[in-house]
Amino acid sequence: MKRPTKLLVAGVGTALAAWTAWGLYSGRSAEGVPYESLRSMDGVELRRYPRTLLAETTAPNQVAAFRRLFDYISGANESSESVSMTAPVRTEEPAGGAARGGERVGVTAPVRADRGETVSMTAPVRTDEEGDGVRMAFYLPAGYTLETAPMPTNSDVRLVVEGPKTMAVERFSWYATSGRVANAEQSLLDTLEREGIEVRGEPTLWQYDDPYTPPFMRRNEVAVEVDLS
């Protein structure tokens, strides 16, 4: 092998190793929403989640929604307080999936606030359907309550409390394009139907990674509430 080719191969290998190392670091550095794993079946895990507090907004697309929520945890609140975000980030979108498309919105941990303070973010990001737009939510750390969390200064951002619930979750990797999300949702629902488990509502997308995580290391999940009674 000629020297320039060897140098190119070595450079690509070094870059790939660094990219992979960043993916490992970012995946381990974000706080996550705690849950109890109940059981697994055909790639689907049943989890019990506690009461959670979220910062939520509805916007025309993921980028606008993410920016509003990021501004909130970076200090756009009545206390001018930096807020750690808990994984995942949840996103809900129209049934057609147009807003999701090829956009890649991830979770970075840590990130920098405008005044230089380090702000930890908790994954995943949650995305849900909401008319013609997208509803996105950041989970806040367990130490906050509705009374103690800083109030958003943007009226389009609201704090929401969710009670304990049981979720069925299926994980997939690579970028969360509309096609991959739709396939994962269908696989999840098919498994639950075979198992005779009742579904409540529609599936939602959870994303855990920052935009720089390699696609083969990305953690995405589709989740839906279920009734095990």
Which of 24-33, 137-146, 155-164, 213-222 is predicted least confidently?
24-33
In this predicted structure, the answer to whether residue 97 has a pLDDT above a threshold of 50 is no
Predicted TM-score (pTM) of this structure: 0.74
Provide the residue type at 139 as one letter: Y
**Which residue, among 213, 171, 220, has the nearest Cα to 24 in the 3D structure?**
213
Share of the chain above pLDDT 70, in %: 72
**Confidence at residue 171, expressed as pLDDT on a 0 to 100 scale:** 97
Task: Give burial (CB, 10 Å; 0-12/13-18/19+) of 114.
Answer: exposed
**Confidence at residue 165, expressed as pLDDT on a 0 to 100 scale:** 97
pLDDT 10s digits, 118-162? 334 566 788 876 777 899 999 998 888 999 889 999 999 999 999
* Mean pLDDT, range 114-118, rounded to an integer: 31
Residues in the chain, total: 229
Q: Residue 224 in contact with residue 188, Cβ under 8 Å?
A: yes
Q: Residue 132 in contact with residue 167, Cβ under 8 Å?
A: no
Give me Rg for the CA atoms of the chain.
19
More confident residue, 68 or 75: 68
Q: For the stretch 185-197, what's the b/e string if a residue is b when 16 or more beta carbons lie within 10 angstroms of its beta carbon?
A: bebbbebbeeeeb
Q: Residue 152 in contact with residue 72, Cβ under 8 Å?
A: yes
* Mean pLDDT, range 36-47, rounded to an integer: 98
- Residue 228 gets the label, from left (phi > 0), alpha (psi -120 to 50) or beta, of alpha
Please, what are the domains in the chain?
3-227 (3.20.80.10)
In this predicted structure, the answer to whether residue 16 has a pLDDT above a threshold of 50 is no
Q: How far apart are CA 126 and CA 92, in angstroms?
A: 7
* Mean pLDDT, range 39-47, rounded to an integer: 98
